[in-house]
Every structure is written in structure tokens, then in C-alpha cells.
Amino acid sequence: AHTVGRDADGVVTVGGISVTQLAEEYGTPAYVLDEADFRDRARAWRTAFGDDADVFYAGKAFLSRAVVRWLHEEGLNLDVCSGGELATALSAGMPAERIAFHGNNKSPEEIERAVRAGVGRIVLDSFQEIVRVAHIAQSLGKRQRVQIRITVGVEAHTHEFIATAHEDQKFGIPLAGGQAAEAVRRALQLDGLEVIGIHSHIGSQIFDMSGFEVAAHRVVGLLKDIRDEHGVELPEIDLGGGLGIAYTSDDDPREPHEIAKALTEIVTRECEAARLATPRISVEPGRAIVGPTAFTLYEVGTVKPLDGLRTYVSVDGGMSDNIRTALYDAEYSVALASRTSDAEPMLVRVVGKHCESGDIVVKDAFLPGDLAPGDLVAVPATGAYCRSMASNYNHVLRPPVVAVRDGAARVIVRRETEEDLLRLDVG
Ligand code: LLP
């Protein structure tokens, strides 16, 4: 978050408010989101791509009604991947035509809602879904704008669970063996569909642009084959999301304008070579917009030095508010936020309160040796895929999201209560 600093007493502040004030008012753990930073990042993507391209924020990274309104105001579109995300987007006033609907197994009910609402595009993920969406649209007397998601066969250099362009996985239709071309052929024949383009998403937390380069090359190759076979030039291509952010100081992310320039150049070059009109490009950044804008504020509960090993620092949250360390071996940093200290740093592992030894928030870090119960610590870059992947494991209550801007804080997602938990338990 870019408005983070320390006040004269050494307390971390964000948007002009100290974390001690935030903890007092909203409790811990809490996700603290810097609204100005979010808007700046959203705007930077929008500006970088200009009017000839579209930016769809990937709602799976983090979605709430306030976020939808910010995106709307900043001129971004929205990618949703479930009925729940669609409902959130529509209820916060995102115009349906600015919504893209994703997913490898959208239910007929979800498809019908999306078509009825008039979403700008549905991204088709399988042969069966091509027929299913066409049928539903036709029965509603509509022609649905669609893209077809293909897998281009790129091995993105990221964790296996978040790489999506190799062929042996559940998303998309493989380019290999002419399957993607066959999918387009079939879709073009169906009255319920208006095929507007091809979609490729190669993975997430990627720093190396070469995967996008190969993907663009192959997508344009498919556009050319479609033109040659059907005389149709599809007007759009979507290159997905996946741009990496800095979780620790080892990561060196690209700026939106560099990414926009690189992607636009690649697509333009490939299209010129294929003698195709350059299609309208769209992208779907999630993490790169929201990830850096929030940190999680925790209170230290116990400090347990293990001789010759490390010190275990237990905080009042854990894998239920950040599963990424356990799931992807993700790396985070941590800082003492409620004060500064000159004490000698000690090697720590920040762990949660869950009944599981894999409940680790920050694997390896250094914190001041005088760290004590009651201290507040902050874990940066938790804006993406933390609240959105949070769970109630051990019946731990999911933390609130507190948005801070210009010296004012407000809750945009409230803390879960025991009543919330018990309300669902109707046995
Ligand atoms: N577009 C599509 C079709 C996607 O599947 C995704 C992410 C995105 C865009 C946005 O990707 P981003 O720009 O946020 O990297 N839970 C994992 C990440 C899963 C990403 C799933 N799809 C994590 O915590 O790292």
C-alpha cells in the first residue's frame, strides 16, 4: 500500500491512520486496504492500455461491492467466475455489458442468469459448454457474445496449481490437434452465439513476458487459420491475467505501461506478419491490481523460542485468512507495526491459531528479539487471494476488510460473527 509510513512514535500508519487506532476500532486480525492505492493501480492499468484495449479486473482476487464501484468509477471492466461474483457485480451497479463470465463448469442456471443480465461476454471453456450456452441464449431469444478459451501449450514458470496453459489440465480447449479450431468452427455455426474472440490465460504470479509472447503468437496463428478457413476475422483477443507482484524484496514486478507496451507490440507484430487487422486486446489482472494494496494486521499472542531452531510467533489468525503459504509455499514478509525496536533481530516463523502444524503465515522472517504478546504485526501484499480464499476452518471467524483513505477508515466487508456461523447451522 503506497500511503504506508510510520508516525513520530514509530507506529505504522496507512492513509493517515495508525494501526493501533485501526486495531482498537476494528479488532484484529483485519485486512487493511488502501483505497487510494487500489484506485491508482486500477487507473494505471486503464491508462496504460488506453482506449483501444479493455482491462477486466479479475474478481476472484478480491471482490466486494465497494471494489466494484471503484472499478466502475475508474473505467475498468470485471471478470467474474461464479454466480456469486456475478451477483456481487450486478448488485453494486457494474453494467452487465462490462462483465465477462468465466469458469470451466458454469451451471445452466448461472449461464441463464448471465445471458438474461446481458453480460458482455461469456468465455466458453469446452465443447459441451459451446452447445449449452448457444442453446440457452437461443431459448431466451438472444445472441450471446462469447470468447473461446484455448490452451496454447505454454509452460508458465509458476506453481503447478496456478499454471493454466499447459494442456494436461481442466481449463480451455487445446490448440493441439486442431481442437481449438474445431471449437471455433462449431461455435460459428450456432445462432445463439456471436463469437467475438479467443481467450488465453497462461497462469498467475508470472514475471517473465516470454510466456505471453508465445501465447500471443499461437492465438494469432489460430485467428489466421480461422480467417483462411471461414473468411471471418475475429475482432478480439484476451491474454488473461497473471502478472506477478512483489511479495518479498526478491520479486521485481513490471509496471502496467511496460506490460501494455509489450503485449500490444507482440500482438501487432504477429498480426502484421499474418496480414490480419490487429484485434482489440483485453487483459484480466487481478493480483497485480489488488495484491499490493492491502496488508493483514495481526496481534501477537504467544512467542515461543525453540533453542537452536527458531522462534514461533503465534498470531490471532492464520491459514483461514491466508491459505497461500500452506497451499503454494508462498512467501511473505512481516514487520512489527505497533512500535519500533532496537532489539537484536531473531529468526521467526509466524504461525496461526489453527490446529495444524502447516498453519504458517510467514515461513522465515526476522523480527525484533523483544517481540511480545500484544504487539501488532503487519503482513504486506495480502490484498489478492487471501480474503477471497478465506475459510472458517476450526470455526475461526473471517476477518473484516477495512478500507482506508484520506485519514478515514470504513469497513467494506465486516468481520464474521459467531451468529453468522450458527445461522448456517440449521440441524
Ligand atoms: N483470468 C483468468 C481466466 C484467471 O483464471 C485468472 C486467475 C485471472 C485472470 C487473474 O490472474 P491474476 O492476475 O490474479 O494472477 N489462488 C491463486 C491464484 C489463482 C488464479 C486463478 N486464476 C493464488 O493465490 O496465487
The one-letter amino acid code at 367 reads: L
Question: How high is the pLDDT of residue 223?
Answer: 97
Q: 108: which 3 cell numbers?
A: 445452466
Q: Which atom of ligand 1 is nearest to the CA of 206?
A: 15
Spatial separation of the C-alpha atoms in residues 260 and 16, rounded to whole Å: 32
Distance (angstroms) between ligand 1 centre and the Cα of 25 equals 33
For residue 158, pLDDT beyond 70: no
Spatial separation of the C-alpha atoms in residues 190 and 370, rounded to whole Å: 68
Is 59 close to ligand 1, i.e. is its CB under 6 Å away? Answer: no
Measured N-to-C along each axis, helices 210-230 and 256-273 cross at an angle, to the nearest 10 degrees, of 40
Region of poorest pLDDT, from 30-39, 206-215, 295-304, 397-406 = 206-215
Sign of the Cα pseudo-torsion (83, 29, 408, 286, in order): negative
The candidate with the shortest Cα–Cα distance to 243, out of 185, 297, 290, 203, is 203
Region of poorest pLDDT, from 18-27, 158-167, 414-423 = 158-167
Is 399 close to ligand 1, i.e. is its CB under 6 Å away? Answer: no
Coil, helix or strand at residue 276: coil
- Name the average pLDDT for the chain: 95
| Active-site annotation holder among 81, 271, 355, 386 | 355
Question: How high is the pLDDT of residue 161?
Answer: 58
Spatial separation of the C-alpha atoms in residues 99 and 90, rounded to whole Å: 9
Q: 187: which 3 cell numbers?
A: 461455435
Give me the percent of the chain exceeding a pLDDT of 90.
Answer: 92
Which of 38, 80, 148, 287 is the pocket-test mutation for ligand 1 (most atoms within 8 Å of CB)?
287
pLDDT band at 2; cut points 50, 70, 90: confident
Q: Which atom of ligand 1 is nearest to the CA of 149?
A: 3
Mean pLDDT of 301-315: 97
Q: Is 271 a catalytic residue?
A: no
Mean pLDDT of 386-390: 98
pLDDT band at 164; cut points 50, 70, 90: low
List domains and CATH numbers for the chain: 4-33+292-424 (2.40.37.10), 62-285 (3.20.20.10)
Question: How high is the pLDDT of residue 39?
Answer: 98
* Cα angle 64-397-310, degrees, rounded to a multiple of 5: 110
Mean pLDDT of 314-342: 98
Q: Which atom of ligand 1 is nearest to the CA of 323?
A: 24
Which has more confidence, 162 or 80?
80
Number of Cβ within 10 Å of residue 282's Cβ equals: 22
Q: What is the pLDDT of residues 238-266, one digit of tens each?
A: 999 999 999 998 888 999 999 999 999 99
* Cα angle 297-300-305, degrees, rounded to a multiple of 5: 135
Spatial separation of the C-alpha atoms in residues 397 and 18, rounded to whole Å: 24
Question: How high is the pLDDT of residue 162?
Answer: 60
Q: What is the pLDDT of residues 104-142, one digit of tens each?
A: 999 999 999 999 999 999 999 999 999 999 999 999 999
6 annotated as ligand-binding: no
Question: How high is the pLDDT of residue 84?
Answer: 98
Mean pLDDT of 55-82: 98
Q: What is the pLDDT of residues 56-65, one digit of tens each?
A: 999 999 999 9
Spatial separation of the C-alpha atoms in residues 296 and 386, rounded to whole Å: 9
Contact predicate 88/316, CB 8 Å:
no
For residue 165, pLDDT beyond 90: no
Task: Determine which helix (DSSP H) or strand (DSSP E) holds 277, and give its type and residue range.
Answer: none
182 annotated as ligand-binding: no
Coil, helix or strand at residue 78: strand
Q: Which atom of ligand 1 is nearest to the CA of 205?
A: 15
Residue nearest to atom 21 of ligand 1 (CA): 162
Which has more confidence, 249 or 339?
339
Distance (angstroms) between ligand 1 centre and the Cα of 204 equals 5
Which of 55, 56, 60 is the pocket-test mutation for ligand 1 (most atoms within 8 Å of CB)?
60
Is 58 close to ligand 1, i.e. is its CB under 6 Å away? Answer: yes
Which of 204, 282, 382 is the pocket-test mutation for ligand 1 (most atoms within 8 Å of CB)?
204
Question: How high is the pLDDT of residue 98?
Answer: 98
Spatial separation of the C-alpha atoms in residues 257 and 259, rounded to whole Å: 5
Is 385 close to ligand 1, i.e. is its CB under 6 Å away? Answer: yes
Is 204 close to ligand 1, i.e. is its CB under 6 Å away? Answer: yes
Is 156 close to ligand 1, i.e. is its CB under 6 Å away? Answer: no
Is 279 close to ligand 1, i.e. is its CB under 6 Å away? Answer: no
269 annotated as ligand-binding: no
Distance (angstroms) between ligand 1 centre and the Cα of 119 equals 20
Contact predicate 205/159, CB 8 Å:
yes
Is 77 close to ligand 1, i.e. is its CB under 6 Å away? Answer: no
Question: How high is the pLDDT of residue 166?
Answer: 73
Distance (angstroms) between ligand 1 centre and the Cα of 158 equals 12
For residue 160, pLDDT beyond 60: no
Question: How high is the pLDDT of residue 113?
Answer: 98
Q: Which atom of ligand 1 is nearest to the CA of 164?
A: 5
Is 288 close to ligand 1, i.e. is its CB under 6 Å away? Answer: yes
31 annotated as ligand-binding: no
